[in-house]
Structure 1
Amino acid sequence: MNIAVEKVTSSKINEVDFDNLAFGSVFSDHMLECTYKNGAWETPKIVPYQPITLDPSSKIFHYGQSIFEGMKAYKDKDGGVWLFRPLENQKRLNISAKRMAIPELPEEYFMEGLTSLLQVDKNWIPENDGSSLYIRPFMFASGNGFHASPADEYKFIIATAPSGAYFSGKVRVLIEEKYSRSANGGVGFAKAGGNYAGQFYPTQLAKAKGYQQVIWTDDNTHEYIEEAGAMNIFVRINDTLITGPTSDRILDGITRKSILDIAADEGIKAEVRKISVAEVVAAAKSGELKEMFGAGTAAVVSPISGFGHQGTDYDLPELENSYAMQLKKRITDIQYNRAEDKFGWRYRVI
């Protein structure tokens, strides 16, 4: 594709302390922008990172047609730049787009646009161990009008942010019994912005009680655990790793899929099935509950140190050789080109 590039007149990279990067708060010099207009996506272009100007009647403000993805670029010790399963992000973006009545984006627009942007801003990819360039592709309704219908114009943008090693620490979570993240027939499987906005209030309530995050349960009975905050959740009972099946309510996480594949390769018994709250509580009481952790792009895995349910707190044991850390190391070694990639997940950019 003939992607036009408008470079910044002066880079701000020398103003950035790459040894002290907070997650998603410093942004690189350029972004990719693509407009859907007159029934077709125009050719993407790379422009300086800048504010977006929108009319007050733009439908994103009124009807919430907005989706996004989260991914990272990694730099190995020889300066090579890699992505991790980027086509999975591209496919999922279009799954989300279809559900939100947003025009799907051609694969070459996503992949060529992304790789071109990374080549322009390659110096923004940190070299420090554990650091990466966080990539945020997103799409939203830019067309105007107060009538409740899909927009006729959309924007696709990729912005990037160099980020340091993401350590969430071990978190305590509260099993939610009133609020729901999503419902059958809804948009829980899509990465729609509103899914995350709806999580903030229940999470604030949990934090006020001394927890860092919420474990979401099914919308109908609240009997089955489904996700941990904005991440997929895994539970280890004895030596079996369990995660819930994807559905209308659960995001088909790329890290989740990778963990299941690596667990099989490592000889770790894994099951994809419903996990009841009662089963988890009983396992915690009997000592059979060994681990719980979230799985997602930012942290890869986020260990859970304990959970609360109906006024009672349950602590999980400290393990020297946890599945969480074993699986995280295997994934990050692939991402940073430190180990064999027998799955073909690495995608070379430079």
Structure 2
Amino acid sequence: MQKIFDFIKATYFGIGFIAIIAILSFIIANTSYIKNMHISVLIIGICLGAICSFIFLRHKQHLESGINFSAKNLLRIGIVLFGFNISLSGIASLGFKGFFIALIIVSVIFSSGYFIGTRILKLDKQISMLISIGSAVCGAAAILALESVIKSQSYKNVAALASIVIFGLLGMFLFPTLINSGIIPLDDMEKGLFLGAALHEVANVVGAAGAIISPNNQAILESAIILKMIRVILLVPLLLIISFLISKDNKTGKIYIPWFAIFFLFAIIINSIIEIPIHILQIIKTTSNMFLVFAMIALGLQIDFKKIKQIGLKIFILSIVLFIFLAILSFILVVRL
């Protein structure tokens, strides 16, 4: 009971602050003008969060716990609950193509990033690995997971996280714009697969897919998240391989397992074998959407524009090379396979 009280005491300022922005986001999203423009409440949330980021930075000690909880825990819970919108038949609709795309993306981007970082740009091995795994798998979560294995210094983690956040957000806004304008020519299924393959964070995928203008937006969101979650699950074997290769130097390294990805799959299985009442599914869907909006706002609030200036040139070059390569490779795989 005391732990619950301490948690509420530590997080209620931050969660309350996000709740106010979330209410404003839903109000704006439901105006006729925004509805006609088909702008997702997720996009509105992250934009309002970014606008209000200076408030978070000024009052960080009071808001940080609640905002971190929203950005990490509520995002993961929202994704798990989203699994009840998906069935095994939906995953089967991606077929071998979806798994093959995810496997190629993770293996090629990580190995290419490590090679370019260490051999061409002469960067530190650890920071090359951190940026590469963030681009290849699932952004900040993958970086933090790898950090627990290789025990890298904090400044390397910060630099890698900053670059991944910047380019993840860039892609979240850029790719939907290019898709909606027809510059990136894809059908609805390909749109979802491309976003799931080309973006860094799970949050980036959710936000970008929500911004796609299409009557089949739900299907696009489903395929995007499914492919992205396959990439997330591949984090486990990748970390095991890395841990094995460096085991002589890091015998105490612990393996991070993305449990929310496992629970996401359990939710899909449950939804596939049990007929859940429609009104229960609607409650789950609404809760999932609300948590995802909270996570988007928290992500926006954590944007520190000053950190953009602190990224070293070589780190910036590696990040932008991987960002471009990831987009090109994703497009080729989605269209050609």
Same structural fold, with TM-score higher than 0.5 when normalized by the shorter chain? no
TM-score of the aligned structures, taking structure 2 as reference length: 0.24
Question: Higher helix fraction: Structure 1 or Structure 2?
Answer: 2
Question: Higher strand fraction: Structure 1 or Structure 2?
Answer: 1
Q: Which has the higher contact order (CA 8 A, sep 6+)?
A: 2
